[in-house]
A and B are shown apart, each in its own frame.
Chain A
Amino acid sequence: MNLNKTQQNPANTSANSFSMLRAMVGIGILCALMIVLTYEGTFGRIEQLKAEALEKAIFRVIPGIVKSSAFQLDPDGNFVEASEENTTPMIYAGYDENDRLVGVAVEASGQGYADILRILYGYDPESQKIIGFYVLESKETPGLGDKIEKDPNFLANFEALDLSLNDDRSAVKNRVIPVKKGAKENAWEVEGITGATISSRAIGNIIGESTDYWVPVIYKNKEKLMLNSEE
């Protein structure tokens, strides 16, 4: 039926396809324009809010600081102040009111139960311990996996998690590992949560992996992170 009609009336069909094309292209352009305008309009504010959220998290994981600044590694492996062109990962040094370096906040991420987990932890090079922990992004199951953000026993792991370096300062003496609930014996173990086994294990492993790399680097360069290093 439809086929017959098309054969009988080719002019009509081309008019029809033209109107279809016109509608789709027209709507497409209109929609693209609206999206671009919204993106441009909200970009600044979104960036600002994200930066504020990160700033808040930094103040949480390094207790007692009044300001922080971001650093990145230059190609020679030295810390330099963060800049736009440098795309290597940033770390954030936090200082107290006497401009003393209190700790360094490091972002780390890895696979959780539901999705990628992004966390921030605070490392104190003086005592060689993790002194704070915060979940930046998680899609873990509400009521179960999201206990990693609130469970007081679990969070107590990160008040003084041992990250002592070995004798020649080249690597962490004992890698951070996750253990079952109630099985924590050493200061470098992360005790898990019942009911959030996978998520809490994931946190332990993410921190283990990230500290393996970062802690020796930060310790070696800690003078560069201090505010009066130029003097």
Chain B
Amino acid sequence: MSNLVQDKKDTDFFSSLKESPSTNEFIKGLWRDNPVFVQVLGMCPVLAVSNTAENALAMGLATAFVLLMSNLLVSSLRNFIPKQVRIASYILIIATFVTITDYAIQAISVELHKSLGAFISLIVVNCLILSRAESFASKNNIGRSMLDALGMGVGFIFALFCLGAVREVLGNGTIFGFSLFPEAFQEWIVMILPAGGFFTLAAWLLIFNIIQKKGSKT
């Protein structure tokens, strides 16, 4: 029942877009099924690497890339992989793209690689990626799987950025390294630490739920 209402609201919200299954595949990851704010998946990198806006964006992009590529491969091999070994196959595919991403980030900037540290390798066990492979890409054609991955990826970047921006502004007084406040501003160091990640996530979840509740009432 609530789902029906939700769908109706989405059509209103994006009324400029024609209702079609493909736009729906993309849009659902951005908002209705947002991987962080609704599905609460992949919390380890969300909490750990969202201490600055730049780190959050980089981590979001890396995860989105892995998600897109693994969905593509899983979807194109979905009739080739027997179901008994599917999880092992997915992990192998995901780990490969994570390794590729790791090399790519090192080749882009040593500094960035230094600040993301161990969390790049940990994308392998990000349950967001495995859950999209298992629950979507393995059952849908390549086009739809790509759209799904794009939507989820952008939704993940959006959510990480929301956290990273707030934490950087409060914890460091900067955004993308640019100073926002006068010298006298006392940084809230707790926001940079893991505990600050929990606070910020809780605040965003609250805001998100209020918006969604309001939307479903009307």
Q: Which residues of A contact B (CB under 8 A)?
A: 16, 19-20, 22-24, 26-28, 31, 34-35, 38-39, 41-42, 45-46, 49-50, 52-53, 137, 139, 141-144
Asked if B103 contacts A39 (CB within 8 A), the reply is yes
Q: Is B11 an interface residue (CB 8 A)?
A: no
Known contacts A24-B85, A45-B107, A143-B192: A35-B99 contact under CB 8 Å: yes
Residues of B within 8 A of A20 (CB): 82, 84-85
Asked if A141 contacts B117 (CB within 8 A), the reply is no
Q: Is B185 an interface residue (CB 8 A)?
A: no
Residues of B within 8 A of A141 (CB): 193
Residues of A within 8 A of B193 (CB): 141-144
Contact with A along B114-157 (1 / 0, CB 8 A): 10011000000000000000000000000000000000000000
20 sample A-B contacts, Cβ–Cβ < 8 Å, listed by A number:
A16-B82, A20-B82, A23-B77, A23-B82, A23-B85, A24-B92, A27-B77, A27-B92, A31-B92, A31-B93, A35-B99, A35-B100, A42-B106, A46-B106, A46-B107, A49-B106, A53-B110, A53-B111, A139-B118, A142-B51
Known contacts A42-B104, A49-B109, A142-B193: A19-B82 contact under CB 8 Å: yes
Contact with A along B13-41 (1 / 0, CB 8 A): 00000000000000000000000000000
Asked if B189 contacts A143 (CB within 8 A), the reply is yes
Knowing that A23-B80, A53-B110, A142-B192 are A-B contacts, what are 10 other residue pairs whose CB atoms are under 8 Å apart, sorted by A's residue number?
A: A23-B85, A23-B89, A27-B77, A27-B92, A34-B100, A39-B103, A46-B107, A53-B111, A142-B51, A143-B189
Asked if A139 contacts B117 (CB within 8 A), the reply is yes
- In the assembled complex, the Cα of A118 lies from the Cα of B175 at a distance in Å of 28
Asked if B110 contacts A35 (CB within 8 A), the reply is no
Asked if B85 contacts A31 (CB within 8 A), the reply is no
Contact with A along B69-84 (1 / 0, CB 8 A): 0000000010011101
How would you classify the secondary structure of chain A's contact residues: helix, strand, loop or mixed? helix
Instruction: Look across to chain A and name the residue whose beta carbon is closest to the beta carbon of B51.
Output: A142
- In the assembled complex, the Cα of A190 lies from the Cα of B70 at a distance in Å of 50
Instruction: Look across to chain A and name the residue whose beta carbon is closest to the beta carbon of B81.
Output: A23
Instruction: Look across to chain A and name the residue whose beta carbon is closest to the beta carbon of B117.
Output: A139
Residues of B within 8 A of A53 (CB): 110-111
Write the nearest CB–CB distance from A116 to chain B, whole angstroms: 12
Residues of A within 8 A of B192 (CB): 142-143
Asked if B96 contacts A35 (CB within 8 A), the reply is yes
Residues of A within 8 A of B109 (CB): 49
Asked if A42 contacts B96 (CB within 8 A), the reply is no
Q: Is B184 an interface residue (CB 8 A)?
A: no
Q: Is B88 an interface residue (CB 8 A)?
A: yes
Contact with A along B171-182 (1 / 0, CB 8 A): 100000000000
Write the nearest CB–CB distance from B190 to chain A, whole angstroms: 8
Instruction: Look across to chain B and name the residue whose beta carbon is closest to the beta carbon of A138.
Output: B114
- In the assembled complex, the Cα of A129 lies from the Cα of B109 at a distance in Å of 33
Asked if A24 contacts B89 (CB within 8 A), the reply is yes
- The list of the 3 closest CB pairs from A to B, nearest first, reads A31-B96, A42-B107, A143-B189
- In the assembled complex, the Cα of A169 lies from the Cα of B24 at a distance in Å of 77
Instruction: Look across to chain A and name the residue whose beta carbon is closest to the beta carbon of B172.
Output: A143
Highest count of chain B CB atoms <10 Å: which of A22, A35, A137? A35
Residues of A within 8 A of B104 (CB): 38, 42
- In the assembled complex, the Cα of A55 lies from the Cα of B141 at a distance in Å of 50
Asked if A137 contacts B114 (CB within 8 A), the reply is yes
Write the nearest CB–CB distance from A6 to chain B, whole angstroms: 12
